[in-house]
Amino acid sequence: MGIKDLFKPEEQLICVDFNNPLRILYAGKKGSNILIKSILEKQLPDEIFEEGQAINFESLSEVIKKSFNNLKIKKAKVLFAIPSQSVVVRFINFAYLPEEELREAIRWELDRFTPFPAEDVYFDVQILDVVEREGNKEYVLLLVAVPLEVIQSYLQIFNNLKLDLQLADVSSFSAIRAIIKSRKSIPEETTLFLNSRYKFIDFVVTKNKKPFFFRSLIAREFFEEEGLDDLSKSFVLDNYLKEISQGLNLFYMQYPEERIERVILLGDNVVYKDFVEMLDAMFGLPMEISPLSLQDMGVQIKNKKILDEIQNNLPKWVSALGLLFWGEV
């Protein structure tokens, strides 16, 4: 922090992870210093959020309004992440052309890459690499597309509250951003980021620090369903792991010559010891849970109750935390 930074006002940030439970962080940011001031976690009823997606935006808007009032939020910049189940992710090769023309060129060919017509979708692209094939240069792109009706419904929630919207992101990508901030880098070797949140499982595979595979699955049931005895939970957990294995098989079918060399676990389910131990046995690879420490991310919390809640459940808060580092990693 330089002398000029001393006179800069603190940015007020609201980070909203639209999943179930809903999680909200309210933080102040000044330069590279981040102070989390308050948090909120709320379980949403099935009539608002079902199978990983919002289905009643009017009721969800009321929940957000009441939550912000409880947190005493009046003016702040909003960053939010939506569930992976709401988006389409593609890794594509595209003809090389000036970057300022790229987005418009892709718009004309969206029907090749997504199930949506161009007029019904919001999309964004990120250039991952430039390669040469048969003497011609091509972009390697990450394409993310969201039905326009869905993204506009989320945006309207914050427009109604007259808040300054800064960013809309995808939950798993935001989570990985927090991990990169914590680890300071992405491994060079082929790495599986496994984001497991109740019945929802996201696979992101990277190589040479760049993503090249994404898949989101919904398991038939979650192994910690209430009311199950130990034997039933063990049976459900075994089936859950089989579905993870099937998801991994999709990767090897698409990339038969690739081999996963490292696994990084994140998401709500990694707080369950049996789940992690069985994954470790199934993969038989170097495996880690990340992030492990708020300190590694440079985040401060002065309120001990909030500190204990987040630090003791850090994998659950990883998507909301990742929003704080947009533009840094």
Each residue of 158-182: pLDDT tens digit?
Answer: 998 888 889 999 999 999 999 999 8
Domain boundaries defined on the chain: 4-85+148-176+293-325, 87-147, 184-289
- Quickly state the pLDDT bin for 63 (edges 50, 70, 90): very high
Is the C-alpha dihedral spanning 223, 177, 106, 138 positive or negative? negative
Q: Which is more confidently placed, 232 or 301?
A: 301
Question: How confident is residue 225, by pLDDT bands cut at 50, 70 and 90?
Answer: low
Query: 184-289 has which CATH code?
Result: 3.30.420.40
Do 4-85+148-176+293-325 and 184-289 agree at the fold level? yes
Please tell me the predicted confidence (pLDDT) of residue 118. 87
**Based on C-alpha coordinates, what's the Rg of the chain?**
20
What share of the chain has pLDDT > 90, as a percent? 68
Determine the pLDDT at residue 226: 63
pLDDT at residue 122, as a whole number: 93
Q: What is the pLDDT of residue 328?
A: 78
| Helix locations, 56-191, DSSP H | 57-70, 99-107, 110-113, 148-160, 171-183
- Nearest C-alpha neighbor of 177 from the set 220, 131, 211, 137: 211
Strand bridging mode 136-147 / 164-170? unpaired
The domain defined by 4-85+148-176+293-325 folds into Nucleotidyltransferase; domain 5 (3.30.420)
Record the pTM. Answer: 0.91
Q: Is the pLDDT of residue 2 over 50?
A: no
pLDDT in tens, 271-285: 888 899 999 999 999
Please say whether the beta carbons of 60 and 87 come within 8 A. no
Using alpha carbons, list the distances in angstroms from residue 310 to 23, 132, 174, 301. 11, 46, 17, 9
pLDDT band at 224 (very low <50, low <70, confident <90, very high): low
Query: Is residue 240 predicted with pLDDT exceeding 50?
Result: yes
Averaged pLDDT score across all residues of the chain: 90
pLDDT of residue 329: 67
Residues contacting residue 93 through CB under 8 Å, at least 6 positions apart: 131, 133, 138, 139, 140, 141
Cis status, amide bond into 291, omega within 30 of 0? yes
| Total Cβ atoms within 10 A of residue 146 | 21
The CA distance from 241 to 173, in Å, is 22
The beta strand positions in 221-297, using DSSP E, are 262-266, 287-289
Check residue 306 and give its pLDDT. Answer: 94
Task: State the fold for domain 87-147.
Answer: Dna Ligase; domain 1 (3.30.1490)
Dist. CA 169–CA 155, nearest whole Å = 12
Q: Is a pLDDT exceeding 90 seen at residue 26?
A: yes
In which band, very low, low, confident or very high, does the pLDDT at 96 lie, cut at 50, 70 and 90? very high
Taking residue 294's Cβ as centre, other Cβ atoms within 10 Å add up to: 19
What average pLDDT does range 171-199 have in this prediction?
Answer: 92
Q: Identify the residue with better confidence: 292 or 58.
A: 58
For the segment 110-131, the average pLDDT, to the nearest whole number, is 92
Q: Rounded CA gap, 88 and 115, in Å? A: 9
Q: What are the DSSP calls for 2-59, one per residue?
A: -TGGGGSPPEEEEEEE-SSSEEEEEEEEETTEEEEEEEEEEPPPTTTEETTEE--HHH
Asked if residues 210 and 128 have their Cβ atoms less than 8 Å apart, the reply is yes
* Region 96-106 average pLDDT: 93
**Position with higher pLDDT, 280 vs 220:** 280
In this predicted structure, the answer to whether residue 3 has a pLDDT above a threshold of 80 is no
Please check whether residue 324 is in contact with residue 279, taking contact to mean a CB–CB distance below 8 angstroms.
Answer: no
Confidence of residue 50 (pLDDT cuts 50, 70, 90): confident
Name residue 267's amino acid: G
pLDDT surpassing 90 at residue 40: yes
Check residue 211 and give its pLDDT. 94
Query: Which residues in 205-215 are b (16+ Cβ under 10 Å) and which e?
Result: bbbeeebbbbb
Whether residue 9 is predicted with pLDDT greater than 80 in this model: the reply is no
Q: What is the spatial distance between Cα 142 and Cα 129, in angstroms, rounded to a whole number? A: 10
- The answer to whether residue 7 scores a pLDDT higher than 90 is no
Q: Which residue in 323, 326, 328, 300 sits closest to 14, CA to CA?
A: 323
- Report pLDDT for 321: 95
Residue range 68-92: mean pLDDT, rounded: 91
- Distance of alpha carbon 135 from the chain centroid: 37
